[in-house]
Amino acid sequence: MRYVIVITGAASAVSALTARALARVGHTVRATRREPGASCVSLRATERDEDVTEVDPDDGHMDVIIHNAEHMVFGPAEAFTPEQYAELYDVNVLSTQRVNRAVLPHMRRQKQGLLVWVSSSSSAGGTPPYLAPYFGAKAAMDAIAVQYARELSRWGIETSIIVPGAFTSGTNHFAHAGQPADAARVSEYETGPYKDFGEQVQKAFAAIVPPDADAGAVADAIVGVVGAPFGKRPFRLHIDPTQDGADVGFTVLDRVRAEMLHRVGLGDLLKPRAQA
């Protein structure tokens, strides 16, 4: 089947790779970005930039939402202002709520749909320091995705959570990461026991990523999820070249959550229900 797909965070490498991979197999992909006044663009079975055309984002028909809007920051947690934490939460978490409120009424009327959430292995795996604000926001998004899955399954709307690990090839990774606003506190860390710690973390982080690991694997995984038949799509799918343990952590966490629903007689929420 061919679907109309909305993917957020079009400026990111993963979103761009995913949009083009989906378009190549025939889907109509509406790639959006967060800049004020930015339009929604559509890729129709092509990966050539000159064939990207503007479309009406309000025509109502949408089959799949892919939540991938995100922004990464790097530095001592203390040196980020509360306002920076709020901004990061807005990009990584509140953006999903805005899109859901705009699109889910259409999906519920259609009695079908798919939400794909691009999470992070940091929410249940081993993590390096100096990424606390970003990791916190991704963990919040993941928790919300799980609850949305339960609240949409009876509408016939499916959920798949994609869990990428660290990729240094095919992404901007640290290059475009935001920095702490409080330079004075950064300086205290840099002149104290954490001198050159940021560089140490980045080198250690890069050293555990296999040289052939490419973010295109995430795009390929999403294409596979979208193309799978109703009821057969995985609830959670890991693409983690570093094997940071998130697959183990999430297996335990998701099982605990599922068992609680079974205990209280709500086990049906764990599987999407086809609507007539």
3-state SS, 54-68, equals: ECCCCCCCCCEEEEC
* Cα 120 from Cα 242, distance rounded (Å): 12
Helix (H) / strand (E) element for 42: namely strand 41-44
* Cα 236 from Cα 244, distance rounded (Å): 16
Strand pairing partners for 65? 6, 115
pLDDT value at residue 189: 97
* Cα 73 from Cα 133, distance rounded (Å): 7
Torsions phi, psi of 160, nearest 5? -130, 130
One-letter identity of residue 233: R
Q: Which residue stretches of 9-121 are H helix?
A: 13-24, 82-89, 95-110
* Cα 173 from Cα 71, distance rounded (Å): 10
What DSSP line would sit under 205-264, residue for residue?
HHHTS-TT--THHHHHHHHHHHHSPTT-S-SEEEE-TT--SHHHHHHHHHHHHHHHHHHT
Q: Which residues contact 170 (CB under 8 A, 6 or more apart)?
A: 13, 14, 17, 214, 215, 216
The domain segmentation of the chain, as residue ranges, is 4-270
- Show the tokens assigned to 75: 């530095």
Residue in the structure block whose two tokens are 């973010």: 215
If one looks up domain 4-270 in CATH, what number appears? 3.40.50.720
pLDDT value at residue 107: 95
Look at residues 6, 78, 86 and name the one whose alpha carbon lies nearest to residue 40: 6
Q: Which residues contact 77 (CB under 8 A, 6 or more apart)?
A: 130, 132, 133
SS3 113: strand
pLDDT value at residue 28: 93
Cα torsion at 92, 97, 100, 101 (round to 10°)?
-150
pLDDT value at residue 47: 35
What is the block-wise mean pLDDT of the chain (276 residues), using blocks of 10 residues?
90 87 93 56 37 43 91 95 95 94 94 96 93 95 98 97 81 74 97 96 86 88 96 96 94 98 98 90
Radius of gyration, CA atoms only, the chain: 19
* Cα 99 from Cα 93, distance rounded (Å): 11
Strand pairing partners for 117? 67, 161
Q: Pairing state of beta strands 157-164 and 53-54? A: unpaired
- Show the tokens assigned to 172: 């901007």
